[in-house]
Structure 1
Amino acid sequence: MSGTVDTPYQGAFLGRVHHFALRVYFEDTDVSGVVYHANYLKYIERARSDMLRAAGIDQRAAIESGEGVYVVAGLDIKYRAPAKLDDDLVVLSEVLEVRAASCAIHQRVMRGTDILADARVTAAFVWEGRPKRQPRAWVEIFRRLTEERD
């Protein structure tokens, strides 16, 4: 791990799959002591944002320049097993498909070798509520990530 103790954690690509580690905190759990279902969405969102950053995609610059922003246009998630307080988890993210104005990403929340949640996310690139072509450089980054899969 590079950086200092005051540097936020960053995940990394191992091959074509981005790994983002996290721990379950008390605030993540519900009254039954397991992770509340909506918190898995937070986990995969953080992992997806970290994946984009690690791939060289600067979302903040795109927003600030008026170029566009990613929004979740579709989400299919299956919950398979519960995570509990203090569990060490890893979110695995893999780009499945890239189109002119969107990309599909497979994300799995794992505890060891167990899949706890399995999601397919479609992220659309938009500006002012309308679909927009992704920056060409970003499409090339995604294509490289999907080609590594083949």
Structure 2
Amino acid sequence: MMQPASGAFGDDHTHRLPVRVYYEDTDFSGVVYHARYLHFFERGRTESLRACGIHHSELAAMEPALAFAVRRMSVEFVRAARVDDVLVVGTGFRPQVGARLMMEQTIHRADELVASACVEAVCIDGAGRAKRPPAWMRNKWLSYV
């Protein structure tokens, strides 16, 4: 069985995940619907954490369970993407502040910037309370900051 592409970190500490635009991602005009970019960004964040050795399923199975929730996100849409475009979602970690994990994300089509986002995610426990990420987790992504 073929494994899905998980992308990789480059020398600049940015994780890159290729994604293809499918018909289901587009609106009636054939352009990627704006909310679908949030899905692409989410995949990029998930795969960048996975590449660091942090898996959502393992966090959920911990006692107490841990997860990430997006607290704040600002998105700038620069160019339209269309069906069959191959995009690359870039995810870079920024210095952590308390329970917050800060990330900068981009979506490129070849050398063209399509969209960018600044993301603030919060580590939460099973009850939904913000919690400082454990040291083992911080150490995994620190080498990519």
2:34 to 32, 37, 42: 37
What are the within-5 Å matches in structure 2 for residues 7-86 of structure 1? 7-15=3-11, 16-65=13-62, 66-86=64-84
TM-superposed CA distance for 1:59, in Å, is 2.1
SS in structure 2 of the partner of residue 132 of structure 1: coil
Q: 1:97: Cα distance to partner?
A: 2.1
Q: Is it true that 1:116 corresponds to 2:131 in the alignment?
A: no
Deviations 1:22-74 (A, max 9, x none): 11110000011100000000001011100000011122111112331000000
Secondary structure, counterpart of 1:130 in structure 2: coil
Distance in 1 of aligned mates of 2:55 and 2:90: 20
- Separation (CA, whole Å) in 2 of partners of 1:87 and 1:55: 27
Structure 2's unaligned 5+ residue stretches are none
Distance in 1 between residues matched to 2:20 and 2:55, nearest whole Å:
26
Query: Structure 1 runs of 4+ off > 2 angstroms?
Result: none
Q: What amino acid is aligned across from residue 11 of structure 1 in structure 2?
A: G
- Identity score, percent: 34
Task: Report how many aligned residue pairs link the two structures.
Answer: 142
Root-mean-square deviation (Å): 1.1
Equivalent in the alignment of 1:126:
124
TM-score, normalised to structure 1's length? 0.90
In 1, Cα distance between the equivalents of 2:138 and 2:65? 14
Does the Cα contact within 8 Å between 1:12 and 1:20 map onto a contact in 2? yes
TM-score normalised according to structure 2 size: 0.93
